[in-house]
């Protein structure tokens, strides 16, 4: 039977009838929004979820019911995508644990924030939304099982901005919050396409 899903479909409708037991999934950004709901739905359907968040205390508070709600599980790891040292530390901990993933969902991000920089000096949205995930995914690529999936969350924002590698930090072009966001989302799309090759 074919399911018809659309923009109004819930995670539970999408996963209805699917048993994810035995599947291991990494989800970034599990302290709010889509990340929490994604982790909940996957764990409810049996997945072993590793949830990454910058603020572990907040993530613990908002996800405390997830493990008890389903047949899967949720373990949390610290990951600040605005710090490449944090990204490397989280990735190295995952690699050292040597437990492969069936699915990686690069969900975490920031949107339309005032001009600023990451700890490494990159424009905040490009550094967090794209570069952090780029380093994470490439560093844990050895953990992706054959046939595994990478889901890079983007948005319609990618339709309104290109990626300007000549001026990624808006040093010579005017900064706009949504322009910078669009650049980061375009980078997400381009990375996903290239990673799939």
- Residue 98 resides in a domain: yes
DSSP string, 6-75: -TT--HHHHHTT---TT-EEEEE-TTSHHHHHHHHHHHHTT-EEEEEES-HHHHHHHHTTHHHHSSSEEE
In angstroms, the CA 92 to CA 79 distance is 11
Domain limits at 62? 18-149
CATH of the domain at 108: 3.40.50.720
Calculate ∠ Cα 155-161-164, nearest 5°. Answer: 125
Calculate ∠ Cα 104-106-107, nearest 5°. Answer: 130
Residues classed as catalytic: 175
The pLDDT, as a whole number, for residue 69 is 65
What is the number of domains present in the chain? 1
- Residue 177 resides in a domain: no
- Residue 139 resides in a domain: yes
The pLDDT, as a whole number, for residue 37 is 95
The pLDDT, as a whole number, for residue 68 is 64
- Residue 159 resides in a domain: no
Q: What is the pTM of this model?
A: 0.94
- Residue 1 resides in a domain: no
Instruction: Give me the residues of the chain with pLDDT under 70, please.
Output: 1, 67-70
- Residue 68 resides in a domain: yes
In angstroms, the CA 124 to CA 109 distance is 10
Contacts of 174 (CB under 8 A, 6+ apart): none
The pLDDT, as a whole number, for residue 157 is 83
- Residue 134 resides in a domain: yes
> 85-122 burial string, b = 16+ CB within 10 Å, else e?
ebbeebbeebeeeeeebbbbbbbbbbeeeeeeebeeeb
The pLDDT, as a whole number, for residue 2 is 80
Match 């990626």 to its residue by tokens.
163
The pLDDT, as a whole number, for residue 8 is 93
- Residue 80 resides in a domain: yes
Q: What are phi and psi of 78, to 5 degrees?
A: -85, 135
């Amino acid at each position: 039977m074919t399911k018809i899903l659309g923009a109004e479909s819930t995670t539970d409708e999408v996963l209805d009838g699917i048993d994810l037991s035995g599947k291991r999934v990494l989800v970034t950004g599990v302290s709010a929004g889509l990340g929490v709901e994604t982790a909940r739905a996957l764990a409810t359907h049996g997945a072993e979820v590793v949830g990454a968040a910058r603020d572990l205390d907040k993530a613990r508070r908002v996800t405390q019911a997830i493990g008890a709600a389903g047949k899967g599980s949720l373990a949390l790891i610290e990951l600040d995508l605005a710090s490449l040292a944090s990204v490397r530390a989280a990735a190295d901990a995952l690699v050292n644990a040597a437990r492969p993933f069936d699915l990686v969902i690069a969900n975490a991000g920031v949107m339309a924030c005032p001009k600023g920089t990451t700890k490494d000096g990159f424009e905040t949205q490009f550094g967090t939304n794209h570069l952090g995930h780029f380093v994470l995914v490439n560093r844990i690529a050895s953990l992706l099982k054959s046939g595994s999936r990478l889901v890079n969350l983007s948005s319609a924002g990618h339709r309104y901005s290109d990626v300007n590698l000549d001026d990624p930090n808006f040093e010579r072009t005017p900064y706009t919050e949504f322009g910078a966001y669009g650049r980061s989302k375009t980078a997400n799309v381009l990375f996903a396409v290239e990673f799939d090759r």
